[in-house]
């Protein structure tokens, strides 16, 4: 939930990849699994503590990813009314995410950034931020690559470094593949273990890498648990008209 990249593919398809930085004491998130929620088929890895998730995709064409913090570092002031991971679940259930962000009550929820991809009917990308007091919505160009990093865990310098690593990767990778961008998420950096793409600060470290590859009619999610070095892939038939079917690889 702390570094995210977006790569556009042809015909409004895409690859979305995220590194989750979390306390290793929080417990291992489950591998992505199929859930039927509010009439929709949704795939996501479930957080063991709060029951929500930081990344999810559904067969109605919506993908959501959560990052810790908004525009600047914030103080941790629990108790919070609900987990941010549960907000992800509510956002992905909504057919019109832009309306969800305009109308939802975010009071007493820890600050976050949420990136949502959906078709309306063309592919759109919304970047939504809640800083604890105010909301910010920005639309991103779906035809261009993008990278996000947690304002809570990374300094402006560290975030800029990530932007530069991504720019260099884009120069060397004209054709985007899941394998290539996952390698970037696994190995990019300068040798600074506290700030590389896969980071380790002991109390917080990169615990997993998850990617969503949305192709015409099907979406694949690949999840690698770095703590136990195991990986799973799951596939979901995608129907923007909300007919449902699925299969697991």
Stated pTM of the model: 0.93
Structure tokens at 209: 């890498």
Q: Which pLDDT score, from 0 to 100, does residue 249 have?
A: 30
Contact in structure between 11 and 203 (CB atoms under 8 Å): no
Q: Which pLDDT score, from 0 to 100, does residue 241 have?
A: 44
pLDDT digits (tens, 9 = 90+) for 8-56: 999 999 999 999 999 988 877 888 999 988 788 999 999 877 789 999 9
The total of other beta-carbon atoms located within 10 Å of residue 249's CB is 9
Q: Which pLDDT score, from 0 to 100, does residue 24 have?
A: 85
Structure tokens at 145: 């690559």
Structure tokens at 169: 């990767």
The ranges of the chain with pLDDT < 50 are 241-249
Q: Which pLDDT score, from 0 to 100, does residue 116 have?
A: 98
The rounded radius of gyration (Å) of the Cα atoms in the chain is 17
Contact in structure between 5 and 146 (CB atoms under 8 Å): yes
Structure tokens at 182: 């996952």
Q: Which pLDDT score, from 0 to 100, does residue 240 have?
A: 56
Q: Which pLDDT score, from 0 to 100, does residue 30 have?
A: 81
CATH of domain 3-247: 3.60.60.10
Q: Where are the alpha helices (DSSP H) in 61-124?
A: 84-93, 97-103
The total of other beta-carbon atoms located within 10 Å of residue 148's CB is 20
């Amino acid at each position: 939930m702390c570094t995210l990249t977006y790569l556009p593919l042809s015909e409004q398809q895409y690859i979305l990849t995220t590194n989750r930085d979390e306390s290793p004491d929080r417990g291992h998130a489950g591998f992505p699994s199929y859930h039927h929620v509010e009439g929709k088929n949704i795939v996501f890895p479930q957080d063991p503590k709060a029951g929500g998730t930081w990344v999810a995709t559904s067969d109605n064409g919506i993908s959501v990813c959560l990052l810790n913090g908004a525009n600047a570092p914030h103080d941790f002031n629990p108790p919070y009314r609900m987990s941010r991971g549960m907000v992800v679940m509510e956002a992905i259930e909504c057919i019109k995410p832009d309306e969800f962000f305009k109308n939802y009550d975010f009071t007493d929820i820890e600050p976050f950034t949420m990136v949502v991809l959906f078709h309306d009917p063309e592919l759109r990308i919304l970047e939504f931020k809640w800083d604890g007091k105010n909301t910010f919505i920005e639309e991103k160009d779906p035809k261009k690559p993008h990278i996000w990093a947690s304002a809570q865990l990374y300094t402006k310098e560290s975030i800029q470094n990530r932007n530069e690593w991504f720019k260099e990767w884009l120069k060397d990778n004209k054709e985007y593949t899941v394998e290539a961008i996952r390698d970037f998420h696994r190995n990019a950096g300068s040798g600074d273990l506290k700030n590389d793409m896969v980071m380790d600060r002991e109390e917080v470290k990169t615990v997993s890498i998850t990617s969503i590859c949305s192709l015409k009619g099907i979406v694949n999610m690949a999840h690698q648990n770095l703590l136990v070095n195991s990986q799973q892939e799951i596939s979901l038939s995608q129907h923007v008209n909300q007919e449902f079917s699925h299969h697991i690889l």
